[in-house]
Amino acid sequence: MIPRKIAGREIRTIVSSIADMSTPMVVFESTTHLYWTKADTHQGSRGYLGGGTLLKSRNCRAVPRNPPSLKRFIRPRGARMRATNDEDVFDITIVGGGPAGLFGAFYAGLRQMKTKVIEALDQLGGQVAVLYPEKFLYDVPGFSKVLGRDLVGDLVRQATRFNPTIVLSERVVSIRKLDGGFIQLETSTGSKHLSRNVLIATGAGAFYPNKLDIPGSQEYEGRGVYYFLRDKAIMRDERVLIVGGGDSAVDWALNLNNYARTVTLIHRRDTFRALEEDVSQMMRSGVTVKTFCELKEVVGDRERVTGAVIADNRTNQATKLEVDGILVNIGFRADVGPVKNWGLEMIGRDVVADEGMETNIRGIFVAGDIAKQFRSVKLNIIATAFAQAAVAVNVAKTRVSPEANVVPSHSSDLTEA
């Protein structure tokens, strides 16, 4: 259970969790503040165990929400040194903190493996957290319907149950085998990590939104122009313009309808790439849809966006709209990045794995969207990522402890402390 309130403020989600070797931390966010607390304090709190009504504020530290402070906050002083310049050898190091990596971390803890997760971004959750935190998922086993951000919150809580070391904001750039069988990973900060096994769970790689190149678009990025929304609260009661005709654009239009003051969606064609049902729903909703329309200029008062110039691409006739926020959803590019230089057998953008999710390099496993299991159908969904991560970790366990059974005992055998 996530506490519903801390110090009277409603908690929206766990944004992240970090565990260095001595001080596991859990981080929460409300719309106005970030909170962190030691994981053991948190778990020991009556508020937490008692259904999450109120986590005692004296057990937490809070700072106003402010993205630049987030890094400092989720990486408490000293944690980085211990976590990243670690001479210790880990049983398994998981590259990527998306659904595959997080579930792999939980399973590795269940198998009592010394576990580290290295994530390039400053948050966990992968595509779900970055691309669609406010969307509902309907095909995650055990949930008839779950909001992306809630799923991430639960995955993070599950993954940190056994206190893995979590390193954020470091991108793994190289992986190589050393004499003696250990594997060395080097990250973008130059730090080195040693491990007996590696699980690559880098998904589709790093995401880059396609950006607009029109007057005002760069100047107002983050000050009214957004390429993805981590928290829809910034659009509450605002006049919002959405640009795009794919799933994300239409989903956001529906999501913000009746939440923002007004929602206008423009699309350069009259055919949409989104689900037909969603498009029909949008057409019936209060969203103003303008087809054959393109954004030409972002207008602002130097501080923030105040308007947008749009034009009909058939007639070139321009119109000025008064808006407070512009959400641009014109697609993403994914870059698998350095993975292709790690000596792994690949088919296109996928790393090839055997039936135990092991790659052509012994001790290096793969799970999730990046994986292509030999002779199996590739299904890039979260359920597949979970299953693959569990298989990979259980096989890796037998490499650390050859006497261990590859088949684990059931998690339902666990007893609560």
Ligand X SMILES: Cc1cc2nc3c(=O)[nH]c(=O)nc-3n(C[C@H](O)[C@H](O)[C@H](O)COP(=O)(O)OP(=O)(O)OC[C@H]3O[C@@H](n4cnc5c(N)ncnc54)[C@H](O)[C@@H]3O)c2cc1C
* Residues at the interface with ligand X (CB under 6 A): 95-101, 118-121, 126-128, 131-132, 137, 139, 171-172, 201-206, 247-248, 337-338, 368-369, 380-383, 385
24 or 99: CB nearest ligand X: 99
What is the C-alpha to C-alpha distance for residues 298 and 300, in angstroms, rounded to an integer?
7
Question: And the tokens for 19?
Answer: 């565990």
50 or 331: CB nearest ligand X: 331
Give the strands of the sheet with 305-312, arranged side by side.
293-300, 305-312, 318-322
Q: Report the chain's C-alpha Rg in angstroms.
A: 23
47 or 363: CB nearest ligand X: 363
Nearest approach in angstroms of CB 415 to ligand X is 29
Nearest approach in angstroms of CB 148 to ligand X is 8
6 or 129: CB nearest ligand X: 129
Q: Are 244 and 264 in contact (CB under 8 A)?
A: no
Nearest approach in angstroms of CB 229 to ligand X is 13
Nearest approach in angstroms of CB 297 to ligand X is 28
Nearest approach in angstroms of CB 292 to ligand X is 25
Nearest approach in angstroms of CB 214 to ligand X is 25
**Cα distances (Å, whole numbers) of residue 212 to 206, 227, 318:** 19, 9, 18
Which helix or strand (DSSP H or E) is residue 116 part of? strand 115-118
Q: Are 244 and 227 in contact (CB under 8 A)?
A: no
128 or 321: CB nearest ligand X: 128
What is the C-alpha to C-alpha distance for residues 274 and 319, in angstroms, rounded to an integer?
26
47 or 244: CB nearest ligand X: 244
Nearest approach in angstroms of CB 394 to ligand X is 17
3-class DSSP assignment, residue 30: strand
Among the listed residues 336, 329, 372, 342, the one whose alpha carbon sits nearest the alpha carbon of residue 354: 372
Nearest approach in angstroms of CB 54 to ligand X is 32
48 or 342: CB nearest ligand X: 342
Contacts of 281 (CB under 8 A, 6+ apart): 254
Contacts of 53 (CB under 8 A, 6+ apart): 3, 4, 5, 47
Question: And the tokens for 394?
Answer: 């259980």
98 or 109: CB nearest ligand X: 98
Q: Are 117 and 164 in contact (CB under 8 A)?
A: yes
Nearest approach in angstroms of CB 417 to ligand X is 28
Cα dihedral 316/317/321/325 (nearest 10): -10
DSSP one-letter string for 13-24 = EEEEEEE-SS-E
235 or 392: CB nearest ligand X: 392
What is the C-alpha to C-alpha distance for residues 170 and 178, in angstroms, rounded to an integer?
21
